[in-house]
Amino acid sequence: MILAVANTKGGVGKTTVALNIAIQRAIAGRDVWLVDGDRQATASTAIAIRSESHRRPAIACSSYPDGVRLRSQVLQQCSKFQDVVIDVGGRDSSALRAALVIADIVLVPFQPRSYDVWALQDIAQLVVEAQSMRDGLKAYAVLNCADPAGSDNSAAAQAVAEHPHLVYLDAPLHRRKAYANAAGAGMSVTELRVPDQKAAAEVLSLVRKLYVTDFAAKIGELSVTSGEESVT
């Protein structure tokens, strides 16, 4: 499956989310390819740091900031991998448009803040355009840097309903230092020497909802909301 983590807005956690998902799939035994579509190449840098330690599951990583190249390379090589995760750069880049053409799922992380919620309009429009040109693209919005309390999370979640082409995925990642610490070392939050159990649980829940739910939807056997399945 090709998963694109995308948002035209920067700093919403695309790279952090893409890295955690890719690593979690590798830990589950999948052959993972992380494709970095951002000129800043943050994901590639994180994977380079990761590869300095041989104790952790390896992840193939390539950098294609140019959309034409990204599209042709991913289409040519994706059959060699079980899971492809594309970290798309911010802005309305060619890599973002290419990712929307080839992905099975686009995951849009956003923060529970006004500017982030307003910016959903932008990415929702690109999703609409992509869906009008091709079949089978599913688009989910997920909260990142969610607040520990208060009503902003639920207000932001409800705002997703204004965009009928975006489905709110109820698997928020909260604002936790563990995410920044782990990503800086090329790790998932589940790999930290002293893991943050809450961060680990929410990443596992997100991965489960994305992959098991998708698989379940295909075979039509499992409930979309069940959440008790093991990650395959």
Among Mg ion, ligand ADP, none, residue 173 binds (CB under 5-8 Å by kind): ligand ADP
Q: Confirm or reject binding of residue 204 to ligand ADP (CB under 6 A).
A: no
Q: Which of 79, 111, 106 is CA-nearest to residue 3?
A: 106
Select the residue interacting with ligand ADP from 20, 24, 42, 190 (CB under 6 A).
42
CA 137 – CA 135 distance, rounded (Å): 6
The CB-based long-range contact list for 24-29 (8 Å cut-off, 24+ gap) reads: 24/188, 24/190, 24/203, 24/204, 24/207, 24/231, 25/82, 25/83, 25/85, 25/207, 25/211, 26/57, 26/58, 26/59, 27/57, 27/188, 27/190, 27/191, 28/207, 28/231, 28/232
Q: Confirm or reject binding of residue 173 to ligand ADP (CB under 6 A).
A: yes
Q: How far is the CB of 177 from ligand ADP (least distance, A)?
A: 6
Q: Confirm or reject binding of residue 180 to ligand ADP (CB under 6 A).
A: yes
> How many residues lie near ligand ADP (CB under 6 A)?
17
One character per residue 120-159, x = contact with ligand ADP (rule: CB under 6 A): ------------------------xx--------------
Q: Confirm or reject binding of residue 14 to ligand ADP (CB under 6 A).
A: yes
Q: Which of 120, 117, 66, 60 is CA-nearest to residue 89?
A: 66
Select the residue interacting with ligand ADP from 179, 188, 208, 210 (CB under 6 A).
179
One character per residue 37-56, x = contact with Mg ion (rule: CB under 5 A): -----x--------------
> How many residues lie near Mg ion (CB under 5 A)?
3
Residue whose tokens read 């992959």: 211
Backbone angles phi, psi at 33, to 5 degrees: -120, 120
Applying the rule CB under 6 A, the residues between 87 and 126 that interact with ligand ADP are 90
The DSSP bridge partners found for residue 138 are: 105
Stretch (H or E) spanning 106:
strand 105-110
Select the residue interacting with Mg ion from 8, 15, 93, 144 (CB under 5 A).
15
Residues at the site binding ligand ADP, with contacts judged by CB under 6 A: 10-16, 42, 90, 144-145, 173, 175-176, 179-180, 183
